[in-house]
Amino acid sequence: MNDSDPSVAVPAQAQADLYAGLADLGLDAAALAPPLLAYLALLLRWNRTYNLTAIRDPRQMVTRHLLDSLAMHPFVGEGRLADLGTGPGLPGIPLAIAHPRLQVTLVESNGKKARFLREAVRTLRLGNARVAEIRAEALDAPGAYDLLTARALDTLAGILAVGAHLLAPGGRLLAMKGVRPDDEIAALPAGWAATAVHPLSVPGLDGERHLVEVGRTA
């Protein structure tokens, strides 16, 4: 069995979920599903040996990893994005696949996860993604990024504490959250404010999802 073949490694129902979910999100399923399935196949294979993600069911991975990451795609375009605490590449790798003109830095200090990320970037031939095996606060790239993402890293204030130095003037933090995090928004440090809070609909996912945009105040 060739585990690198998505048609073998990813069950048919999970593939169907991905195609339907991409269409629901307004994305080109025919173009995006093959590389996303190749990424999922690689993640499934590595997850047998390394605990890269606690979610192991392929259908749950499609919903909670791939489609959840891509639900924020309308708010991401060209430019430079740093995905802080990306883990196995979420949301950074799906966003890099969906946005070829987006330059993505996958920031991850865990060695085994960083090794997986390098293998994924190589296998998928993602010329617009690179891996930084380092803690976000130690990344020496002041003002280098237009966007920061963080999916499950910390509170809004906590994310800014480790990553604010990376944002260019006018740059934005795009933080994925569950229920609307009004307490976290109220606790933002001086000089920062939530500029928008977008309710997101993730195909197949029960419960609330919100994308919080945070920027510097005038």
Q: What is the pLDDT of residues 41-70, one digit of tens each?
A: 999 999 988 889 989 999 999 999 999 999
Which tokens sit at 62?
Answer: 């499609």
Work out the average pLDDT over 180-202. Answer: 96
Expressed as residue numbers, the domain containing 202 is 6-216
Q: Place 3 in a pLDDT band, splitting at 50, 70 and 90.
A: very low
- Per-residue confidence (pLDDT) for residue 2, from 0 to 100: 41
- Give the pLDDT confidence score for residue 51 in this predicted structure: 84
Instruction: Order the strands of the 102-107 sheet from edge to edge.
Output: 129-132, 102-107, 79-84, 145-150, 167-177, 210-216, 192-199
| H helix intervals, 106-178 | 111-124, 156-163
pLDDT at residue 7 greater than cutoff 60: no
Closest CA to 59 of 8, 14, 11, 7: 14
Tokens, residue 108: 């991850």
In a domain, 68, yes or no: yes
Residue with tokens 């977008």: 198
Res 4 pLDDT > 70: no
Residue 149 belongs to domain with CATH number: 3.40.50.150
Backbone phi, psi, residue 19, to 5°: -60, -45
pLDDT at 8 (0 to 100) = 52
Give pLDDT tens digits for 135-171.
Answer: 999 999 999 999 999 887 789 999 999 999 999 999 9
Q: What is the pTM of this model?
A: 0.94
pLDDT band at 1 (very low <50, low <70, confident <90, very high): very low
Q: What is the pLDDT of residue 218?
A: 76
* The pLDDT of residue 15 is above 50: yes
Domain assignment present for residue 45? The answer is yes
Neighbour count for residue 71 (Cβ, 10 Å) = 23
Q: How many CB atoms lie within 10 A of CB 6?
A: 21
- 25 exposure class (CB count in 10 Å sphere: 0-12, 13-18, 19+): buried
Report if residue 1 sits inside a domain: no
Q: Burial, 181: exposed, middle or buried (Cβ in 10 Å; 0-12, 13-18, 19+)?
A: middle
| pLDDT interval class at 177 (50, 70, 90) | very high
Cα–Cα distance, 43 to 120 (Å, whole number): 8
Nearest residue to 173 (alpha-carbon basis) of 152, 189, 195, 141: 195
- Structure confidence at residue 84 (pLDDT): 96
The residues that bridge with 192 in the sheet, in sequence order, are: 216
Euclidean distance between CA atoms 27 and 208, whole angstroms: 21
Q: How many domains does the chain have?
A: 1
Give a yes or no: residue 208 inside a domain: yes
Q: Which residue has the higher pLDDT, 153 or 107?
A: 107
Q: Is the pLDDT of residue 201 over 80?
A: yes
Position 150 in a domain: yes
Determine how β-strand 145-150 pairs with β-strand 192-199. unpaired
User: Which candidate, 140, 84, 135, places its Cα nearest to that of 110?
Assistant: 135
